[in-house]
Amino acid sequence: MRALAVSILLASSLASADTKKPIVGFEVHGHSKLRPSTLAYLAHVREGDLVGSDDLAALQVALISSELFESATVSLVDAPGGYVVSATLDDKLSWIIGPTLYVLPSNRAVGVGFAENDFDGRDQKLLLYGQLGTKTSIFFGTFLDPSFHGTKWQYRADVYLERRQVDEYINVSRTVTEIGRTTEETFLDAGFLVGYTWRWYLVTDARLRGAYVFFHDSLDPRTNTTVPKPQQDGWDTTMQLRVTFDPRVHNFGVTTGPYAQLLVEPSVPGLDTYHYVNSMLRAYYSWEFFHEHELELRGFGLLGYHLPVHEDNALGGGGDLRGYALDQFRGDFNLIARAEYSVPLFRWWKLKFRGLGFYDTGYATYLFPRSDRNYLPGQLDSHWFRNDVGLGLRAYVKAVVLPLLGVDVGYGIEGRGYEVYFELGLTDF
């Protein structure tokens, strides 16, 4: 009988220890500038939520997944009315400033960038970047507040200035391609976004952006003669509407979970020269195997109506077909799929290296050509289906939020040729 009483008391004590109580506050300790209010946002909880000891692991995973901390330990402290969520954090270096070097199939570029991923301890993002390249030169600046004054509202302001050489290819056969026209394009853009976080993994936003675009120096590089430019100059003003579903977990170069995003971008009547609509649906899923092995599958679908040349849904480059030149296959309708498997290789100093193998496939064609656009001969009759395979390398610094080195070598199966993509600094293939 006495043993039974002891068992009952012990069970009662354990149940009490695991009893969920409401959150009544947050506190931050350790080498961190994070604000307590931001801790709630990053841990995906807020005051009044019921938590217990069995929730600690999920809270810690959420904090590490923000990629702001080298380590995170969470405990629950008894307080009048419930628990205080107490986190001991060791910040990564949230800011970085440094040079960049890009050696891409159609562009060689150097630049300098500044990135701050936890401005004022509020998880606010600031990025300033300038680049000079053989074909593409840009300046980009943006500021994002993902939780305005601790609410579910977010905003972003950005400016994007670009001057690039637009190459339009004549794909004579699977293995023979040539550039039929090169045009200098200047794109001056600014935008403002407002979004709402329904759940920590579900966000909708709208971005109004306006740009002025002009084209000049159109040449046929085969004869070095002047040719008509592909599109008239004008204002490109659109409203971008997005829904993003992203419950993924990130841990030092390894990602697990699903991701999906729908984007619809119509031009704004009365403020736009080109009168078009573009749209995109993309979905990813990532799995972790054998401790830090990752398999990621990606799918994209892009559909545009009456797209101007600077908005073509083109294939070729680090974002889709890595075995072909940038924007080699143009169209307004694209289908893209990618499979990528990455593995840990070794650690050296503060760097962590990962190797990867990939397969990319894509299809591009025109469904809705514009009446005011000057297409190359045969361009509207193209239906391109291309594939590539390749290997890559990534380098991560645990104390820095962003990967700092990326190298991919892709072999175009139909084109029977190699392309190399090298990025040093502010890397995100």
- The last residue of one of the domains, among 91, 126, 142, is 91
At 88 the pLDDT is 95
- What does the radius of gyration of the chain's CA atoms come to, in whole angstroms? 25
The count of structural domains within the chain is 2
83 is a domain residue: yes
- For 38-176, strand residue ranges (E) read 50-51, 69-79, 82-91, 95-104, 107-119, 124-133, 136-145, 153-171
Q: Among residues 181, 429, 428, 427, which one has the least CA distance to residue 419?
A: 429
Q: Which domain holds residue 271?
A: 95-424
């498997």: which residue's tokens? Answer: 341
300 is a domain residue: yes
194 is a domain residue: yes
Q: What's 84's domain CATH number?
A: 3.10.20.310
56, 119: one domain: no
Asked if residues 38 and 26 have their Cβ atoms less than 8 Å apart, the reply is: no
At 18 the pLDDT is 62
At 70 the pLDDT is 86
114 is a domain residue: yes
9, 136: one domain: no
110, 244: one domain: yes
55, 141: one domain: no
341 is a domain residue: yes
216, 268: one domain: yes
296, 308: one domain: yes
30 is a domain residue: yes
42, 102: one domain: no
Which residue ranges in the chain fall short of pLDDT 70? Answer: 1-18, 172, 399-403, 426-429
Q: What's 289's domain CATH number?
A: 2.40.160.50
**% of the chain residues with pLDDT over 70:** 93
429 is a domain residue: no
- The last residue of one of the domains, among 45, 60, 91, is 91
118, 244: one domain: yes
107, 31: one domain: no
123, 86: one domain: no
- The last residue of one of the domains, among 91, 121, 137, is 91
Question: For 2-52, where are the alpha helices, taking DSSP H only?
Answer: 2-17, 36-42
At 382 the pLDDT is 82
129, 9: one domain: no
213 is a domain residue: yes
87, 190: one domain: no
Half-sphere exposure for 314 (CA within 13 Å, toward CB): 21
Instruction: Write the CA distances from 98 to 101, 243, 423, 424, integer angstroms.
Output: 10, 33, 13, 10
357-399: pLDDT as tens digits: 999 999 999 999 999 999 998 888 888 899 999 999 998 877 6
